[in-house]
Structure 1
Amino acid sequence: FKGLDNSTYYALEPRNRSRYANYSGTGNTLNANHAVVRRLILDSLRHWVTEMHVDGFRFDLASILSRNTVGEVVANPPVLWDIETDPALSGTKLIAEAWDASGLYQVGSFFGDHWKEWNGRFRDDVRGFFRGDEGHVEKLAARFLASPDIYGGQGREPEQSINFVTCHDGFTLNDLVSYDEKHNWANQEENRDGSDYNLSWNCGVEGPTDDPAIEELRNRQIKNFFTTNLLSLGVPMLVMGDEARRTQHGNNNPYCHDSELTWFDWSLLDKHAGLRRFVKELIHLRLSVAFEVPGLSLSALLHAVPVHWHGVKLNQPDLARHSRSLAFSADVFQYGWHFMFNAYSEPLTFQLPTLGDGQPRRWRRLIDTYRPSPHDFAHPDEAEIVIGSDHVVQPYSTVVLVAERVPR
């Protein structure tokens, strides 16, 4: 477009019109709110929907679309208003990465009613909790419930929050638990490219290892991430290959590679068949249990289905900065659910609740990420009955209990 009309198609520096404004991190930025560029964007989207039958779009660095022709952030960006109100796009899914490369961060405040948002705080806070960082217990509680601190006051449904732990950018899930630092030397930029803020933990050894204890811990952490993502309120987003521990060998910015570094190694399906089975069972559970009610806002849902918070002791959640454990229970559609998270390096004993209706129910252990496959996940009618009034949760583990259906 430079040769057609440089100042129309690209955002330029206000004080030096010979230089491109770089809100994208790639050297230039489309001048999205210019009338000509808006027309180009809308025509392109309509073509993909009407001719190619694409049913949705995810907008990379979508907050750039909030900037006017001189780079200022505006409250009602014309291009976003056009996309929001276009009849041809009314049935499509619109997902925003609600930030840009120049520091603009709009998670929870992105324009429009039609848009859903990548919840970057879900990614960061879930990573931080299971890494054992301080001050993350209360954050985990909010992220698990579709982030009411971000979206609860907007009258929006839980689906507003697109929850994810990994995406196409950054570490794969395997590398998130295998590397403390990025290893981008193969990109030939002296390891300068790619983010240094990964919130990763290598579990004791940098990179691949034959130590069975470290491998068990890494598998456990990966199952913790999958369990939290797939069972949280909101819309879970997964990255292809994470279910088989696909690795990029610590490279968190492999955009420039078309090689074995980024290709999918199909032998991983057999090597990590137990993890793949675990993820398949979680997806089946997610689809079979209606955690959300269509048309009900997040605040209304949380009011209709009260959540009871606990620590290792009932009704006493430990929200101190040093705390690394959390539990909560809720009744959903005649079932009782109880979640226990332990991000400590030692086992913790959690008291188990009696359910609010006063009728006796027996807890069954549905998920225990500490246990090896296939004992880490059991169907509700086959799950082992938990005996006693408390339950031990092993280090860096998640346990999910389900109560039997109330007899009628």
Structure 2
Amino acid sequence: MSQTVTTEVPVETLMRAEVTAGRPQPLGATVDANGVNFAIFSERATQVDLLLFDSYDAPVPARVITLDHERHHSYHFWHCHVSNLGPGQVYAYRMDGPHHTKESGTRFNPRKVLLDPYSRANINTLWDRKLAVGPEDNCAASMRSMVVDLDGYDWEGDEPLRTPLADSVIYEMHVGGLTSSPTAGVSHPGTFSGVVEKIPYLKELGVTAVELLPVFDFDEMQVLRSGPDGAPLTNYWGYDPFGFFAPHSDYCSDPCGCKHIEEFRDMVKALHKAGIEVILDVVFNHTSEGNEHGPTISFRGQANEVYYHLWSQDRRHYMDFTGCGNAINANHPAVAKFIIECLEYWVTEHHVDGFRFDLASELSRGAEGFEMETPPVLWGIELSGILSETKIIAEPWDGGGLYQVGRFPGKRWAQWNGPFRDDVRRFVRGDAGLVGTLATRLGGSRDLFGRQGELPTNSINFITCHDGFTLNDLVSYNGKHNLANGEAGADGSYENYSWNCGVEGPTDAEEVERLRVRQIKNFAAILLLSRGVPMILAGDEFRNSQGGNNNAYCQDNQISWLDWEQAQKENEVRDFFRGMIALRKRFAALRQPRFFEDRRNERGLPEVTWHGCQLEQPGWEDGQARALALTLAGFDGDPDLHIVLNMFHLGLDCELPHVPGHRWALAVDSSRGPGEDVRSPDAPLPLDGHTFHAHGRSVVVLTSLPDDGGSTR
């Protein structure tokens, strides 16, 4: 395990430490046998001071080392080596230089203490955000970086899992929200250690990867506003980072200690032992420093004009393609280097399996903010040898109107498929005339990804995600209920394609509740029957609710925390999810990494045949159609599958195709109750006759069985 370290260093040690020139690379604080090498980027700084603290909560540094321009400056970098220092040393910077905000965009301010952008761990116990904005010196209320030794951890032979995308089932979750509720029953609620305690549950569910909402250090103490009850609302989701190389302090069992990295690694190692990959939701489109009225934390005080998009007419003002005050100038060479080295660090040092890039289209913008045809940072990520076996997933839009679903730069990028979400929501709600569109989504969205020679595995299919309604709320509310966010209900999407099944919000009406359960099952079934990569929002499998809040970004409370008592009560929905995940894994026809092809199996069936209630009459042109069926051929000895999707409110009799020597058996019927909605592979229900009655608003899956002498239908 990692060596024991301390954040308290005798002042005498700091004062006697020898300072030498050091090296400009690697950036950050690097431990060696003789001490620590410090290196930081700044093109225009005229003075750089390294601050060394004798404890994490010291109001002032015990020693200040002013770097000499001739000795400690190489090209774009400032650097020095300090002897006799080691892991646990707390440090920060001050920088001076031009403050020409309008002309050049520089914002050097020697009164502000700066974090190291490459810091592996940060301390924020003294942090006061307001003092980082005003004119006064903020040293006594600043954040600090901490030296970390990356060697010595026992990975116990851990290796990347490399689960193929086609075989993946992703579980999107918030590290804190997973176990913050007292109902979670864990030893360290809301932490990386808490996640470890829930691994048996995740393994039983059957997911192959967790996608963690941001775990880079962010300012969880930032008060955004007050809610209607006067309670402060803070940054809960974490999409506002300042420490890109550092695990978020508040997700550690000891935020002030030196085990940030060890606890994160312990979580990754434990998940890998359970066969579950770790994908990080990363935010390289903006930072916590905000616009010209925001705090100086790191980048602004070192190279503001490099890290951010600034308006050319008046460089005091920040371009904002994110809705968060600033936008990172990702394709500047120094910033692209920072981003790629950050990603490679999380892979090499923490064994992370992949990344989901928030508002990824912002990373395709050039210096003036316009879309680039071949953005260097995105191609650098795609072509990196270190990242070559990781999953890279784009949210292919940004807050400035750039929308790139199906045309995101590069070939290897998987993309969040917003049209899949919207089209499936409308179909399950009962909107008519969507069967052709739904068929395209079921087949992997060839209309979006086939044009550039990509594959269904470029499509991340989802019904819900952190941003929007939960699945339970999607079937329980016609409109959003966001008053708790303190924005008078103006935030969050107005168009959710939801349907409350007859009553707004919670109800005791049994018929409404049964319909809601069926609709949730329908969504889950369609998601897991579609080609592409399914993603499930944590808690959807047990009807987690946010009370109709479709934008709970500021709700670090019971609104967002998963209720594990609810998980114990909702066995039916949870077992259905588990059964559908297992069914997807069992049948290769559901996981093919290619679009449907013109080929037949050994029984003579085409790979796919589309139907309506009558065979081979799918009703593509029927503006009232609300039902679709398809037959999928099984290859290499696999059974054939026949799927019926009936979102009409009444039951329909659907013709069944003839498979010589075989008969059909019921595997899934979302209209049935617990234990019969997803049947055990060992207990299929053989059918007789030429038709099947699909109940209103239901999804049915049939499998072919060798005929034992009975009906061949």
Sort the TM-score into its range (normalised by shorter chain).
over 0.9
User: Equivalent residues in 2 for 1:391-406 (5 A)?
Assistant: 391-405=692-706
User: Which amino acid counterpart does residue 256 of structure 1 have in structure 2?
Assistant: C
Give the alignment's TM-score, normalised by structure 1: 0.94
Q: Which residue does 2:487 correspond to in 1? A: 189
TM-aligned CA deviation for residue 49 of structure 1:
1.0
The CA distance in 1 between the partners of 2:598 and 2:655, in whole Å, is: 26
The C-alpha deviation readout for 1:299-336, integer Å capped at 9, x for no partner, is: 55878852111111111111222211111112112412
Farther off after superposition, 3-12 or 82-91: 3-12
Across the aligned residues of Structure 1 and Structure 2, the Cα RMSD in angstroms comes to 1.8
Give the alignment's TM-score, normalised by structure 2: 0.55
The one of 455, 466, 478 aligned to 1:168: 466
The C-alpha deviation readout for 1:77-126, integer Å capped at 9, x for no partner, is: 01111111111111111001111122211111111122111111111110
SS of the equivalent of 2:588 reads coil
Farther off after superposition, 332-341 or 244-253: 332-341
TM-aligned CA deviation for residue 129 of structure 1:
0.3
Q: Which residue does 1:387 correspond to in 2? A: 688
The one of 316, 319, 324 aligned to 1:26: 324
Q: Which residue does 1:71 correspond to in 2? A: 369
The CA distance in 1 between the partners of 2:402 and 2:339, in whole Å, is: 21
Note if 1:324 corresponds to 2:622: no
The CA distance in 1 between the partners of 2:567 and 2:383, in whole Å, is: 44
SS of the equivalent of 2:398 reads coil
The one of 306, 322, 329 aligned to 2:607: 306
The CA distance in 1 between the partners of 2:676 and 2:410, in whole Å, is: 45
- Label 1:282 to 1:195 Cα distance change in 2 as closer, same or farther (>3 A): same
User: Which amino acid counterpart does residue 310 of structure 1 have in structure 2?
Assistant: H
Structure 1 gaps of 5+ residues are: none
TM-aligned CA deviation for residue 209 of structure 1:
0.5
User: Which has the larger helix fraction?
Assistant: 1
Q: Which residue does 2:565 correspond to in 1? A: 267
Q: Which residue does 2:676 correspond to in 1? A: 375
TM-aligned CA deviation for residue 190 of structure 1:
0.4
The one of 56, 78, 90 aligned to 2:354: 56
TM-aligned CA deviation for residue 137 of structure 1:
1.1
TM-aligned CA deviation for residue 406 of structure 1:
7.1
The answer (yes or no) to whether the contact 2:596–2:608 under 8 Å persists in 1 is no
Note if 1:148 corresponds to 2:452: no
How many percent identity over aligned positions? 47
Structure 2 gaps of 5+ residues are: 1-298, 709-713
TM-aligned CA deviation for residue 292 of structure 1:
6.1
TM-aligned CA deviation for residue 278 of structure 1:
1.1
TM-aligned CA deviation for residue 297 of structure 1:
3.7
The CA distance in 2 between the partners of 1:404 and 1:90, in whole Å, is: 42
The answer (yes or no) to whether the contact 2:663–2:707 under 8 Å persists in 1 is no
The CA distance in 2 between the partners of 1:354 and 1:29, in whole Å, is: 58
SS of the equivalent of 2:633 reads strand
- Label 1:22 to 1:352 Cα distance change in 2 as closer, same or farther (>3 A): same
- Label 1:365 to 1:393 Cα distance change in 2 as closer, same or farther (>3 A): same
The one of 137, 143, 146 aligned to 2:435: 137
Farther off after superposition, 373-382 or 200-209: 373-382
Q: How many residue pairs are counted as aligned between the two chains?
A: 403
SS of the equivalent of 1:339 reads strand
SS of the equivalent of 2:392 reads strand
The C-alpha deviation readout for 1:216-268, integer Å capped at 9, x for no partner, is: 11000100011111121111111111000000000111111111111111111
Farther off after superposition, 238-247 or 157-166: 157-166
TM-aligned CA deviation for residue 157 of structure 1:
3.2
TM-aligned CA deviation for residue 293 of structure 1:
7.2
- Label 1:181 to 1:79 Cα distance change in 2 as closer, same or farther (>3 A): same
The CA distance in 1 between the partners of 2:361 and 2:685, in whole Å, is: 48
Q: Which residue does 1:110 correspond to in 2? A: 408
SS of the equivalent of 1:281 reads helix
The C-alpha deviation readout for 1:355-389, integer Å capped at 9, x for no partner, is: 3xxx1321111111011111111134412222211
Task: Show structure 1 runs of 4+ deviating over 4 A.
Answer: 299-305
- Label 1:301 to 1:23 Cα distance change in 2 as closer, same or farther (>3 A): farther
The C-alpha deviation readout for 1:4-28, integer Å capped at 9, x for no partner, is: 2222111123444332212112221
**Larger RCO (alpha carbons 8 Å, 6+ apart):** 1
The answer (yes or no) to whether the contact 1:152–1:299 under 8 Å persists in 2 is no
The CA distance in 1 between the partners of 2:400 and 2:510, in whole Å, is: 43
Q: Which residue does 2:578 correspond to in 1? A: 280
The CA distance in 2 between the partners of 1:257 and 1:303, in whole Å, is: 52
The answer (yes or no) to whether the contact 1:162–1:236 under 8 Å persists in 2 is yes
The C-alpha deviation readout for 1:262-296, integer Å capped at 9, x for no partner, is: 111111122111111111111111112222677x6
Q: Which residue does 2:334 correspond to in 1? A: 36
The answer (yes or no) to whether the contact 1:158–1:292 under 8 Å persists in 2 is no
SS of the equivalent of 1:19 reads coil
The CA distance in 2 between the partners of 1:249 and 1:131, in whole Å, is: 20
